């Protein structure tokens, strides 16, 4: 079986003035399916650049990146968009929901670009919302939902196309600590069910919920540490249905 | 307290075989309509520019076409391929008497023209006077024409009642007459004049027909305010003249055969009269010849120029409307940068984004165009029925205006859509 993520010498350099800013420099990392990995580091450490590269939003200036065995470092922008749609689900700090659309329409949206017939789209969106416990609120617009609920809609949207990897960029950054715990508990539950997750954070408490932490500093991977995850559900005292 | 459903199954089942059809047109249209509906006032104001442009194009083209139609029907009413020959300006003892004041052509000239010039189909000499026509206690002043049956052919007259007079009636000088529609109405009202008797200069005439209606000529004169009788009847019974002018005619109507060159026939006519009047080489012509349909054609050309000019002005307002569409689409792209970033992140291709924004611009322009068609056509008909303008709604112009508004949307929407599609997803997601 292929590793899910395999980077060799992955680098992203930006020309800046006379010199070069090495946002990411020579990162070798292998992540297998089913892992829950946190990428940690202060701002400017390269963790966000790493996320953008892994998420196929950006392309490396040097090195190789294989996603599920496919070399994606040198694909055309159109093909990269397709890879994003097929293999990756994004969760953002600020949710990025369409404000005018209700939860159901927000979750259905990614499937629109894949030529899925509307009936199947709706069916799957309802299933995804059920997984995050929001089936009852699928007709609510983002402004009628709490922050935690909005992030759960975003997670349902990330799940809906059946991705191999969920990329979360500071998913608890805009939430109070208790709601953040609930979101991390949801991620852990999804991970136990087999979803691979890469979560970028600057917060060690959040990284503790993952099973492995990558530490970045000045564009380099300085530490790759496997550990036992803290159980977020237990900490939050969230009763599971 | 929130209750989180524990995911019991593995992630969602895999999607069916990936079609990669991308965003369907209907889907993109739906999304575009949704985006427009979210900003109704703004969409309406933007579409207003296109709306005014399209409505203006339709109304001006309809009014222009109506005016041309009027001119064309006037040309038709004059009689096609018609040359009018008048006596030229005559000087008597150094005094200019004015064109046609002293008759210098005769009934015999008119008879000779078709024999001498083969390209002439018919020629009719006319003598005319303004006289009072009386029926019962009604009377009406009108132009009384004495002429040949050929005159009906030359001027393409029809009869609405009765018949024309015959060659036999013409040569024998029978006291028969035909009334123009205006005269018939004025003297007889609803009554059928055929078979009745009218008096002109106390002489009774039998009305044998009523001429078909022609309306105004291009100079605004009522062509139906006319009475016609045979030339010799007129000479003997109502328009007595000194012996010198006993066979004279004031004008000759010459109908040129279909397909013949009007200008060439005009030259032949000049030569004919120079020879007949024995005009020396250094003297000017004794007759003047007018090509009436040429005058009308000139009026038609100027009407066409005017309507083209108006349509051009309207097209400029369509252009301005298009710039409005572009402006608002650029604003929309800027406002929705984050949304575009998100769509790109979840798998939308650049082509999908381009299609979505392009369709939004086209729909915006088409909405304006459709409203413009409704109001433009309505206004054109209103001008026609309430304002009494001669309007003619040109449906091909309507179709063209709609097509142009769609193309305007496409053209002015392309750049903003390109801009949306070429956004960098990372930058777009971070956009505030």
| Phi-psi region at B213: left, alpha or beta (left = phi > 0; alpha = psi -120 to 50) | beta
What is the bridge-based pairing of β-strands A70-71 and A62-67? antiparallel
A185 touches chain B (CB under 8 A): yes
27-46 of A, contacting B, C-beta below 8 A: none
- What range does the domain containing A208 cover? 5-236
Would you tell me how many other CB atoms lie within 10 Å of the CB of residue B211?
26
Please indicate, yes or no, if residue A10 is contained in any of the structural domains. Answer: yes
Please indicate, yes or no, if residue A241 is contained in any of the structural domains. Answer: no
Please indicate, yes or no, if residue A123 is contained in any of the structural domains. Answer: yes
Q: Identify the three-state secondary structure at position B193.
A: coil
* Tally of domains in chain A: 1
Q: What integer pLDDT is reported at residue A96 of this predicted model? A: 94
State the DSSP code for B236: I
Q: What is the Cα–Cα distance from B62 to B68, expressed in whole angstroms? A: 10
Share of chain B above pLDDT 90, in %: 37
Residue A213 sits in a domain whose CATH number is 3.40.50.300
Do B346 and A190 count as a contact with CB atoms less than 8 A apart? no
Give the mean model confidence (pLDDT) for residues A158-168.
93
Q: What integer pLDDT is reported at residue B238 of this predicted model? A: 86
Which residue does chain A place closest to B14, by CA atoms? A162
Give the mean model confidence (pLDDT) for residues A40-57.
93
Do A124 and B12 count as a contact with CB atoms less than 8 A apart? yes
A52 touches chain B (CB under 8 A): yes
Give the mean model confidence (pLDDT) for residues A162-176.
93
Do B24 and A133 count as a contact with CB atoms less than 8 A apart? no
84-143 of A, contacting B, C-beta below 8 A: 84-86, 89-90, 92, 96, 98, 100, 109-116, 120, 124, 127-128, 130-133
Mean of the per-residue pLDDT values for chain B?
A: 85
Give the mean model confidence (pLDDT) for residues B112-141.
90
Give the mean model confidence (pLDDT) for residues A20-43.
94
Confidence of residue B236 (pLDDT cuts 50, 70, 90): confident
Do A193 and B27 count as a contact with CB atoms less than 8 A apart? no
Please indicate, yes or no, if residue A61 is contained in any of the structural domains. Answer: yes
Spell out which residues of chain A touch residue B347, defining contact as CB-CB under 8 Å: 81-82, 84-86, 110, 113-114, 161
Spell out which residues of chain B touch residue A92, defining contact as CB-CB under 8 Å: 429
Task: Give pLDDT tens digits for B341-377.
Answer: 999 999 999 999 999 999 999 999 999 999 999 999 9
Does residue B192 contact residue B159 with C-beta atoms inside 8 Å? Answer: no
Q: What is the Cα–Cα distance from A169 to B398, expressed in whole angstroms? A: 54
B175 has pLDDT over 70: yes
Q: What is the Cα–Cα distance from A156 to A127, expressed in whole angstroms? A: 9
Q: What integer pLDDT is reported at residue A241 of this predicted model? A: 41
Spell out which residues of chain B touch residue A52, defining contact as CB-CB under 8 Å: 426
Confidence of residue B276 (pLDDT cuts 50, 70, 90): confident
Q: What integer pLDDT is reported at residue B93 of this predicted model? A: 61
Q: Identify the three-state secondary structure at position B288.
A: strand
Does residue B21 contact residue A115 with C-beta atoms inside 8 Å? Answer: yes
Spell out which residues of chain A touch residue B11, defining contact as CB-CB under 8 Å: 159, 162-163, 190, 193-195
Q: Identify the three-state secondary structure at position B239.
A: coil
Give the mean model confidence (pLDDT) for residues A193-209.
93
Give the mean model confidence (pLDDT) for residues B45-58.
90
Please indicate, yes or no, if residue A96 is contained in any of the structural domains. Answer: yes
Lowest mean pLDDT among B281-285, B326-330, B353-357: B281-285
């Amino acid at each position: 079986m292929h590793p899910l993520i395999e980077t060799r010498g992955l680098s992203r350099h930006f020309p800046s003035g006379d010199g070069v800013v090495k946002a990411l420099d020579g990162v070798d990392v292998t992540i297998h399916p089913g892992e829950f990995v946190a990428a940690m580091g202060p701002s400017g450490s390269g963790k966000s650049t790493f996320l953008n590269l892994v998420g196929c939003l950006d392309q490396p200036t040097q090195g190789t990146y294989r996603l599920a065995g496919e070399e994606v470092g040198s694909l055309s922008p159109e093909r990269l968009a397709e890879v994003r749609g097929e293999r990756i689900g994004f969760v953002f700090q600020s949710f990025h929901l369409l404000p005018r659309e209700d939860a159901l329409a927000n979750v259905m949206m990614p499937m629109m670009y894949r030529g899925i017939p509307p009936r199947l789209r709706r069916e799957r969106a309802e299933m995804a919302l059920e997984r995050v416990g929001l089936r009852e609120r699928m007709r609510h617009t983002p402004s009628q939902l709490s922050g935690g609920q909005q992030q759960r809609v975003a997670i349902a949207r990330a799940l809906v196309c059946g991705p191999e990897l969920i990329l979360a960029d500071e998913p608890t950054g805009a939430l109070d600590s208790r709601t953040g715990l609930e979101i991390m508990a949801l991620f852990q539950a999804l991970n136990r069910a087999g979803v691979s997750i890469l979560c970028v954070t600057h917060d060690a408490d959040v990284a503790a919920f993952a099973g492995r932490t990558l530490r970045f500093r000045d564009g380099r991977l300085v530490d790759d540490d496997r550990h036992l995850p803290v159980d977020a559900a237990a900490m939050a005292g969230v009763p599971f249905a | 307290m929130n209750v989180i459903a524990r995911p019991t199954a593995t992630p969602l089942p895999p999607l069916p075989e990936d079609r990669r059809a991308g965003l369907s047109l209907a889907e993109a249209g739906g999304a575009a309509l949704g985006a427009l509906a979210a900003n109704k006032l703004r969409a309406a104001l933007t579409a207003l520019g296109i709306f005014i442009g399209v409505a203006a194009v339709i109304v001006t083209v309809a009014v222009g076409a109506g005016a041309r139609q009027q001119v064309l029907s006037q040309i038709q009413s004059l009689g096609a391929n018609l040359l009018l020959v008048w006596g030229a300006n005559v000087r008597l003892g150094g005094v200019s008497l004015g064109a046609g004041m002293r008759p210098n052509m005769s009934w015999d000239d008119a008879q000779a023209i078709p024999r001498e010039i083969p390209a002439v189909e018919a020629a009719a000499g006319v003598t005319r006077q303004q006289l009072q026509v009386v029926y019962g206690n009604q009377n009406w002043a009108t132009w009384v024409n004495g002429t040949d049956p050929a005159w009906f052919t030359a001027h393409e007259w029809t009869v609405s009642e009765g018949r024309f007079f015959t060659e036999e009636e013409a040569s024998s000088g029978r006291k028969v007459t035909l009334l123009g529609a205006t005269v018939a109405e004025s003297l007889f009202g609803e009554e059928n004049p055929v078979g009745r008797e009218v008096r002109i200069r106390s002489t009774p005439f039998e009305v044998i027909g009523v001429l078909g209606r022609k309306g105004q000529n291009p100079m605004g004169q009522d062509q139906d305010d006319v009475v016609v009788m045979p030339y010799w009847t007129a000479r003997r019974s109502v328009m007595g003249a000194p012996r010198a002018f006993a066979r004279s005619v004031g004008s000759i109507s010459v109908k040129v055969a279909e397909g013949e060159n009007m200008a060439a026939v005009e030259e032949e006519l000049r030569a004919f009269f120079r020879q007949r009047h024995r005009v020396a080489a250094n003297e000017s012509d004794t007759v003047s010849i007018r090509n009436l349909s040429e005058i009308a054609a000139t009026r038609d050309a100027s009407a066409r120029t005017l309507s083209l000019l108006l349509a051009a002005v309207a097209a400029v307002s369509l252009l301005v409307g298009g710039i409005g569409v572009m402006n608002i689409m650029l604003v929309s792209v800027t406002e929705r940068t984050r949304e575009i970033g998100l769509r790109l992140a979840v798998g939308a291709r650049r082509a999908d984004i381009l299609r979505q924004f392009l369709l939004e611009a086209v729909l915006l322009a088409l909405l304006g165009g459709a409203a413009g068609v409704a109001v433009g056509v309505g206004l054109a008909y209103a001008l026609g029925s309430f304002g009494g303008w001669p309007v003619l709604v040109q449906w091909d112009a309507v179709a063209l205006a709609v097509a142009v508004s769609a193309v305007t949307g496409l053209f002015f929407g392309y750049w903003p859509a390109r801009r949306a599609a070429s956004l960098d997803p990372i930058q777009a997601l971070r956009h505030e």
